[in-house]
Amino acid sequence: MHRKLPPLTHLTGRSAASASASSPQPSRLPPPVPLRDLLAHRLPNSRSPSPPTPHPHADILLLLRRRGDVTSPERLHVELVKRGLHHDLFLANHLVNFYAKGARLAAARRVFDEMPERNAVSWTCLVSGYVLQGLADEAFRVFHAMLQEADPGCRPTSFTFGTVLRACQDGGPNRLGFATQVHGLVSKTEYASNSTVCNALISMYGSCAVGPPILAQRVFDGAPVRDLITWNALMSVYAKKGDVISTFTLFMDMQRDDNRIQLQPTEHTFGSLITAASLSSCGSCVLDQVFVRVRSNLAVLVTSTWVVLCLKERNAVTLNGLMVGLIKQHSGEESVAIFVGTRDSVVVNADTYVVLLSAIAEYSVSEEGLRKGREVHGHMLRTGITDMKIAVSNGLVNMYAKCGTIEDASKVFQIMKARDRISWNTIISALDQSDYCEEAIMHYCLMRQGCISPSNFAAISGLSSCAGLRLLVAGQQVHCDAVKWGLDLDTSVSNALVKMYLECGAMSECWKVFSSMNEHDEVSWNSMMGVMASSQAPISETVEVFSNMMKGGWTPNKVTFVNLLAALSPLSVLELGKQVHAVVLKHGVTEDNAVDNALISCYAKSGETDSCEHLFSKMSSRRDAVSWNSMISGYIYNGNLQEAMDCVWLMVHTGQIMDCCTFSIILNACASVAALERGMEIHAFGIKSHLESDVVVESALVDMYSKCGRVDYASKVFNSMTQRNEFSWNSMISGYARHGLGSKALEIFEEMQRSREIPDHVTFVSVLSACSHAGLVERGLEYFEMMRQHRIPPQIEHYSCVIDLLGRAGKLDRIKEYIQRMPMKPNALIWRTVLVACRQSKDGAKIDLGREASRKLLEIEPQNPVNYVLASNFHAATGMWEDTAKARAAMRQATVKKEAGRSWVTLNDGVHTFIAGDRSHPNTKEIYEKLNFLIQSIRNAGYVPLTEYALYDLEEENKEELLSYHSEKLAIDIEYGALQILRNDELEA
């Protein structure tokens, strides 16, 4: 009977994060239900009035155990189905417990859902399985459903309550409200005085309650029976709070307890003592007094040395406990020192070396830890300790990985004679964290081929590696594994899934995973804000995600605000940016560089340079390279190149080192406005900063010089490059193509192919453009077909280049063929290209094609003034003056206006800007006189103006005059005049 468990809502209160895969495991989780208790058909600590009676089918389990068929739950499951016993309550409980112990939670849940009847054992086994795997939220849902069962045989037991409370302990303060309700339920049952439940309550309140452990102490005082675990639990609580006095007082009281049970300290006891001493804020003098007091009361157990090191009968358990306590306080060096100082007087075991390797992995200086680790490894090889336990080899793999030598970790893993789940988790995590993503995925596949079920750690590391390599298909396969084994119920695994799909560009899958999550934590919300930024989602969706996070009770942190501002920056919404800034101030996330840098970028995109400057000035003492680059980018985005250059000058003179990002930003800005002189200044800065050999800077230089008209300089930089990336090749190819040097562009492309650099879609746009300028029609079409060999699907830009190629060659009959071949609908770019290609044709069919292009263009983009001008020019070029007038009238009716074309020239005294027929320049009279002189001179030399490019119905003389005062000719004239003045000055000198 399949029954869906209801969600846990009224018990949990506010949504809280589930125990993540990275959270520490509980110090002492209740073990899964043992076989002997299942055979007796009861739970531990159950109050049975008479001795347990073995179940009638217990002999079947014992027989299967002797045959070895219970070594895996699948074999047991198959055997029970074959015998028709899979619906037996006792055997089904055993199967659920067996699956849960092996982290096979999905299988355990299926068996549980199919059980015709259930008892407390059934529910507790499933709850315990989820808790053991860190899936607290799912465990709470099952527990809630258990409480709703009307059958008295399904009431929670002490073991159930202890397991649930341990899960609350792992959740920390966020679980206190729920844990308090569980305590209320316990107080109404006979388990209120049960030692297992009391111990769990003490540990839970110690972890969940903030401040002095009053509640934990209250439970301890009310416990009718205090065993060693009870004392250790409260001592651990006080120790973690740094209360040395209370910790050692409890230690002494434990020795004086009148309990008939002899309470001998264990490694957990001494671990608490060391933890208390490590966390204490009191001085060494006070600590000495505490130790003196302890020694005076414990003469039987304590000698004159440290209380935590001086038991009369020292053994490996004591030493291991002391070392573990120090490791928990990140004191690996001290833990190793204790081992070195006591190894001659204590007989150590394999567990000691496991702890020792963990201590070495915590060394603050990895090189020192590596040296010490290799010494220990050599000793273990000589004494044969490495073959005693798998845990020893696992410790070696972990130690080498954390000390930064993943190669040694892999070697140890390869020679291991036996591997368990921890072995695979350790090597996969180590490879992923060391950026060996391919090897991590390969080991994950090998683990699955070995029929070893993945854990949360393996799934998270596998997904992280898939994200690093952008392997969507592999990530989907890991996702399938996570669903199969129930790992996707863990919040940390779901967060890793969101990140993987984000890195692979599958934005819709990010939303699906996020929406299906049972619980969200800060990482979940921050990841979704990152998705919004990467996908440039609409404002409403971005604000909705942020608003839902706030409504859920989560406090945004700096990562939240950085992602939110990154999502808003491209949208340039000033008022929304100001509101986010106010929320930043409200939550006190100020004085943080990352947030301030994001705010500068957001304000810059909104045109608020004053706000950018205000924030930037407040960061005077903590500016980093990102701050400077954000400010410079803001100036450039708003067209303030001079202010950007001043900021660069200030950056240099304040001692801030310019990085490759700074150079590329400025060089791209210089390229966009053809500011050659400024670009050359930055080039000089790059040489002084020793960044001229950086591939990013050199590629930006190639692009800048080619766009500023100095393709010869671009060629020199390109040829001097020792390393090239795809941007370098693309910049040089497009530079030659832009200047009409199609043959040179194609030579560079052929060289690119010989160097085995893989071209991308940008490369082919430049190549097709070069073929178009050079008139190489057939060769261009060959390159277009070559794209498919490189698995690059042609985009709209490539079809536009092909149409331009055919149009320049006059092959307008083939243009329709390629338009029909397009897998996408033609856009404005395609129709503009067709319209320009048809402008010089007198053929009636070609004129019809041009008319169709004109009509389509005005339908698609009726508000773009360029389209009206192109349509008007087309009609004028073909002599259809009435249609020309209609196009210009339509432009006026559409209330759009084309910005006049500008030409500018940079001289010593600044930048001079002109438009056609411009007379606003202060030296207009001299400029026009010089221009008329130059025009007359070139006419005498044989120049004849091409009046057909004056697309107006005017007399020839008027057309010549219109062409004479073009903005470019005015700019050239003033530059020519300046050169003449310079030459005259040189002659006079």
- Check whether residue 487 and residue 510 sit in a common domain: yes
What's the 3-state SS for 919-962?
Answer: CCCCCHHHHHHHHHHHHHHHHHCCCCCCHHHCCCCCCHHHHHHH
Q: Which residues contact 137 (CB under 8 A, 6 or more apart)?
A: 8, 18, 489, 491, 518, 519
In a domain, 733, yes or no: no
Contact 849, 873 (CB under 8 A): no
Residue 732 confidence (pLDDT): 93
Separation of alpha carbons 625 and 750, rounded Å: 38
At 915, give phi and psi (nearest 5°): -125, 170
Separation of alpha carbons 954 and 877, rounded Å: 13
Separation of alpha carbons 247 and 516, rounded Å: 45
Q: What is the CATH number of the domain that holds 425?
A: 1.25.40
- Check whether residue 317 and residue 407 sit in a common domain: yes
Contact 517, 494 (CB under 8 A): yes
At 309, give phi and psi (nearest 5°): -125, 0
Residue 917 confidence (pLDDT): 58
- Check whether residue 387 and residue 432 sit in a common domain: no
At 349, give phi and psi (nearest 5°): -130, -175
Q: Which residues contact 882 (CB under 8 A, 6 or more apart)?
A: none
Separation of alpha carbons 166 and 169, rounded Å: 5
Please identify which residue in the block is written with the tokens 């009847």. Answer: 117
Q: Which two tokens stand for residue 717?
A: 């930089």
- Check whether residue 423 and residue 514 sit in a common domain: yes
Which residue intervals of 280-420 are DSSP H helices? 284-297, 316-328, 332-342, 350-361, 366-383, 390-402, 406-414
- Check whether residue 388 and residue 483 sit in a common domain: no
Contact 213, 237 (CB under 8 A): yes
Contact 320, 352 (CB under 8 A): yes
Separation of alpha carbons 147 and 193, rounded Å: 20
- Check whether residue 413 and residue 432 sit in a common domain: no
Total domain count for the chain? 4
- Check whether residue 307 and residue 413 sit in a common domain: yes
- Check whether residue 475 and residue 506 sit in a common domain: yes
- Check whether residue 465 and residue 491 sit in a common domain: yes
Residue 437 confidence (pLDDT): 92
Q: Coil, strand, or helix at residue 538?
A: coil
Instruction: Quote the domain boundaries for residue 860.
Output: 832-894
In a domain, 184, yes or no: no
Distances, alpha carbon 546 to alpha carbons 199, 239, 513, 519, 533, in Å: 41, 39, 17, 16, 12
Residue 55 confidence (pLDDT): 53
Contact 293, 322 (CB under 8 A): no
Q: Is 762 exposed, middle or buried (0-12, 13-18, 19+ CB in 10 A)?
A: middle
- Check whether residue 404 and residue 318 sit in a common domain: yes
At 902, give phi and psi (nearest 5°): -120, 150
Please identify which residue in the block is written with the tokens 């045989």. Answer: 153
- Residue where a domain stops, chosen among 519, 543, 561: 519
In a domain, 495, yes or no: yes
- Check whether residue 363 and residue 429 sit in a common domain: no
- Residue where a domain stops, chosen among 391, 417, 443: 417
- Check whether residue 318 and residue 336 sit in a common domain: yes
In a domain, 89, yes or no: yes
Question: What's the CA dihedral at 634, 640, 644, 650 to 10 degrees?
Answer: -110
Q: How many CB atoms lie within 10 A of CB 569?
A: 21
DSSP 470: T
In a domain, 70, yes or no: yes
In a domain, 428, yes or no: yes
Task: Quick: pLDDT tens for 384-431.
Answer: 888 788 889 999 999 999 898 999 999 999 998 888 888 999 999 999
Residue 61 confidence (pLDDT): 57
Q: Cα 105 to chain center, whole Å? A: 28
In a domain, 164, yes or no: no
- CB burial readout 134-152, b (16+ within 10 A) else e: bbbbbbbbbbbbbeeeeee
Q: Is 167 exposed, middle or buried (0-12, 13-18, 19+ CB in 10 A)?
A: buried
* Strand partners for 904: 913
Q: Which two tokens stand for residue 297?
A: 């009361």
**Dihedral sign of CA atoms 410, 412, 418, 420 in order:** negative
Task: Quick: pLDDT tens for 912-924.
Answer: 666 665 666 677 7
In a domain, 599, yes or no: no
Contact 126, 35 (CB under 8 A): no
- Residue where a domain stops, chosen among 519, 536, 551: 519
Those residues of the chain that have pLDDT short of 70 are 1-72, 257-263, 266-268, 270-271, 274-315, 318, 344-345, 571-572, 692, 839-846, 863-864, 867-868, 875-921, 939, 942-989
DSSP 192: G
